[in-house]
Amino acid sequence: NFTIHGLWPDNKSRILHDCDPDERYITIRDPKKVDELDKRWPQMRYDSFYGKDRQPLWKYEFLKHGTCGTNRYKQPAYFDLAMKLKDKFDPLAILRNRGITPGLTYDLDDIERPIMTATIKVPSLKCIEKPPGNVELSEIGICF
């Protein structure tokens, strides 16, 4: 499945970051909210317990990008919005509904078109090559 990488506010000309150095991250303690967030935005560099307890990725992303939208979205709303967007515009579900199956080969347009149909924007697709000669889709960036 695809997971959330981040939710990054912008000003239509560039991605904003590090907007409010005085903003603090409040560790999420509600176990239900932590599990919901971890399902959609796992902290894959860490084991599950450490990631959920210390929340290093969520803290990093909120302080780097989330602080740029705190005039509209305080921390809880920032994470809620990220999860709502993931659920509403689930890239894997969008692709599966168009017959795109992981592990098979497709043209760029075959992947781009269904995402555009659902989001009304051209997605940013990133691929990796592994092993040499085998290109895999690794990231779908969507602007809202």
Residues 17, 61, 136, 139: which is the catalytic one?
A: 61
Q: How far apart are CA 48 and CA 42, in angstroms?
A: 8
* Spatial contact of 100 and 140, defined as CB atoms under 8 Å apart: no
Phi and psi at 137, nearest 5°, equal -70, 125
| 17 in active site | no
Q: Is 5 designated active site? A: yes
Cβ-count burial of 66 within 10 angstroms (0-12 exposed, 13-18 middle, 19+ buried)?
Answer: buried
**17, 23, 36, 65: which one is catalytic?**
65
Residue type, 23: E
Q: Which of 5, 23, 36, 112 is catalytic?
A: 5
Residues known to be catalytic: 5, 61, 65
